[in-house]
Amino acid sequence: MNCYPHDRVASQPRLKIQLSNFAEERWEDNTFAPIDTGFSGAVMLPNESYEFFMVGEHPRSLWKTYRTMTGTLQMRVARAFVETEGGRMVETVVETPLFGTGKLLLGRAVLSSLSLLLDGPAGVSCLVKPADAR
Amino acid sequence: MTLVIKKIDQRTLRDLKAEAARRGLTLAEVFQEAVSLWLTKRQETPVLTETDKNNEFYESNEAELERHYKGRYVLIASARLVGAYDDLHAAGEAMRGLSPRPRHAILTKVGEDAREFGEWLGGSLER
C-alpha cells in the first residue's frame, strides 16, 4: 500500500500519478494530483500543462461541458494515459477550461477505479489497490 | 545579466532609445517588455491557428470519416488526415514519427467518441 502526505498548505489529499500523452510520452515525473470528488471528470490540468497533451485532442465539437456552482464551463479534452504507483498505464482524458486557467485535479472518472484510504488524522491518502482507470 | 546584441539596425536602436527615454524606462526594461509581448504572441497565434485548421478539416470531412473509418482512431494534423488506426498505440507511433512535430493534432475514435457532460461542484473551486 502506497501512502502520500496531504498537501501541507491546503491540507488537500493527493495521489501520485504519472501522466503521458497518447503518444506515450511522459509528462513530468511523479505528479502529486489533488483529489477532488466534486469533479466528475478524469484529470484537469492548468492551461500551460495541457499543451503537452494537445497532440491528441478531441474535435472541438466533442469538448466537454461541466455544470458548476456558478454556471456552465466548457473544457478542451485530450486523450492521455494515467498510471498510479504499482498499476499499469491506462487510457484516460485530460481536460482544461477553454476560458480560465484550470488547475491540477484528479476527478471521479479516475478515482472510481481505485481503492483509496483517506486518513485525515494521519494526513495521508493511501492507494490500497490500483486498478483500471477510465 | 548582460546581453550583447550584434548587427542591430542603428535606426531601430535609436528609435527604441528615444521611446524608452520618453517613457522613463531603461533599455533593459523596454527589451524585457518587448520580449515578453513577443513570446506571448508567438505562443498564442500558432496554437490557435493549428487548432482551428485541424478542426475545420475535421468538420468539413466528418461525414466522410464516419463512412470510411467508423470504429477506428483517426489522426488529423497540419489540416490533413495522417491516418486511421485500429488501436491507440498505432496512432501514438504515427504521431511520434511525424516531422516536423505538430503542436496540435486531433485524435478521435470515429463514431464512438461523443460529446459528454459533467459536473464540477464545490471541492477545490474556491482554492
Ordered by start, the domain boundaries in chain A are: 2-129
Quote ipTM for the complex.
0.89
Report chain A residues whose CB lies below 8 A from the CB of B95: 22-23, 55-56
pLDDT band at residue A124 using 50, 70 and 90 as cut-offs? very high
Map grid coordinates 454556471 to a residue. A71
B106/A57 CB distance under 8 A: yes
Over residues A25-61, the pLDDT tens digits come to 999 878 999 999 999 999 999 999 999 999 999 999 9
Over residues A26-36, the pLDDT tens digits come to 998 789 999 99
CB of A107 closer than 8 Å to CB of A64: no
Nearest CA in chain A to B47: A51
CB interface of B with A, residues 61-90, below 8 Å: 62, 77, 88-89
| Residue spans of alpha helices (H) in chain B | 10-23, 27-69, 88-96
Map grid coordinates 457532460 to a residue. B117
Please tell me the CATH superfamily of domain A2-129, with its number: Acid Proteases (2.40.70.10)
d(CA A48, CA A30): 18
pLDDT band at residue A134 using 50, 70 and 90 as cut-offs? very low
Of A12-16, B43-47, B63-67, the range with the lowest mean pLDDT is B43-47
Nearest CA in chain B to A107: B120
**A119 in helix, strand or coil?**
strand
CB of A16 closer than 8 Å to CB of A31: yes
pTM score, whole prediction: 0.77
CB of B72 closer than 8 Å to CB of B109: yes
**Closest to B46 measured CA to CA, from B101, B108, B127:** B101
**Side chain identity at A55, as an amino acid letter?**
V
Q: Are β-strands A124-129 and B73-77 bridged in parallel, bridged antiparallel, or unpaired?
A: unpaired
Smallest CA–CA distance, residue A24 to chain B, in Å, is: 7
Report chain A residues whose CB lies below 8 A from the CB of B123: 36-39, 105
